[in-house]
Every structure is written in structure tokens, then in C-alpha cells.
Amino acid sequence: MKNKFQYFNRNLLKWYKKNKRDFTWRCSSDPWKILLIEFLSQQTQLERADKYYQFFIKKYPTPEAMARKKKRTVLKDWSGLGYNNRALRLHETSKLISKNGWKEYSDDFSKLPGVGKYTKSALESFAYKKNVITSDVNVTRVLERYHGRLADETWIKENTIQLLGSTNSRYWNQAIMDLSSNICSKSKPKCTLCPIENSCAKYFSIEQKKKRIESFKGSNREKRGKILKTLIKSRELTFSKAQELIELNQKEMLLILETMQKDALVDINKEKKIVILTRK
């Protein structure tokens, strides 16, 4: 087993040295830059997220710069990325960091809004040089195929030392992420080009219940996005105009608004008009 770990690292890192993707934030230890790209790249391809990152880091070079802006401004800048809750959580997080500092959360970054296990481990590895593995579905896919077993959180923790070997976690994590993206993809993996193919268990998968994923076209997410985009431009929207915009009956419209209010995206003012929620 030990030799299998060593073979993986030796060939992975040799491949990565020649094939790594170059992004400006990859060489940074600034926790704000790491946090920003992690928020931007959730549910978004890294190359596309990087284009938004270049804009965001210029406009918001520090959490304080974002905290000073209104929610409406951040949402407008986020337009086109989808999943607007990410923008709201990022804005909330910038306010907390500006007020309390990074040290307040360094023992557990998951206390910050929108920071889950992966973003937490990314901050620890890339900004604070801790030897942790940033495991998401892409990383676990590579490990499961190679080792021929379930690479759950417990297994990864138990084998972190062997997995990393003598390599720092930043370099290792970036290497396996690039391998999962360029070679060991979810469908049609390029096994003949893979640097660890000779020792790989190949195509190992865990049978799980398939979740029904709502298509974007005609989905509630699309309808919410239309309402929010209109509000960013016009500041307020009547109930009837909103119904006309997304073609829903009154009951369905109320359900959409209820979820948007719950997510702190919109509110209903005294004139019974829909507005972007601006309270801090």
C-alpha cells in the first residue's frame, strides 16, 4: 500500500510540473484572495471563475473594500455567475472579517457565512500552510479510482500523511485538482494520458441514489434570477409585473417570493412592491 501512495505522488507531481494551470491567486497566501476565488468557483468552471476574479480583486482588493459597498452593488457585479446566495454570503463574510479580523475565525473558518468544508480546507492549505487535503467530488473521484475504494472523509484523514508524503499540501492539492480536471474527468477520462494509469484500479464507483437535478431552463433558479436582475436595474417591481415576467400564477409567485425572502434576497415594502433587501 505504501508503494502505491509513493507511486501516485511521484508521477502526479512530475506530470503537474509540466501541465499545471497558471492562475495569479495560486501563488498567493492572502486569505482574502483564496476566499474570493473559492466563492467564485463554486458551481463554476475555474477558467470562467478566474475571469470574474480578475475583476473582483481589482474592485475589492480587501474584505474592507467589499464591506463598504451596498449589497445591490455586489449583486450587480456578480450578475452572470448565478447562485446569487454566494454573493450575499461573500458580502456578509467581508463585513465580519472587516469587523473582527481573520484571527477571530482562524480556528474554524466554517463559522463564516458560506464557508463549507472544502473552502475551510482551502483556506487552511493555501493561506495558512496546514497539511490538509482539500477534498471535493473531483479529488475523491481520482482517489477512489486509483485506490479502488471509498475515499470518504474518515479515510482521507487517516491517510493524509501517506497521501501527501513529503509534499506541501498547497502543491499536492493543486496538482490533483488539475489532474481531475484535465485527465481524470467524470466522463470519458483520458486514461492513456494519465501519469498514474499503470497503478490505477480504474473506474471504481460507489452506487448511490441519484438526485434529480432540476434543469436550469424553466427552473425556480431561473425565475429567481430574472426577478433579481430586473430589481437591480429598476429598484422595485410590482407583484403583477413580476408574475408577467416569469409567467406564474399567484400561488406559485408567492412561493418564489417566500424562498427569496428567506434567503434575504428581496423584501416587500409598504406599497406592496418587491424590492431588493438592503438591511444590513
Where in the sequence numbering do the catalytic residues fall?
A: 38
Report the candidate in 45, 104, 94, 49 with the shortest Cα–Cα distance to residue 69: 94
- Alpha carbon separation from 129 to 11, 14, 201 (Å, rounded): 23, 22, 31
β-strands 266-268, 236-238 pairing: unpaired
* 48 CB neighbour count, 10 Å cutoff: 13
Q: Give me 128's grid cell.
A: 495558512
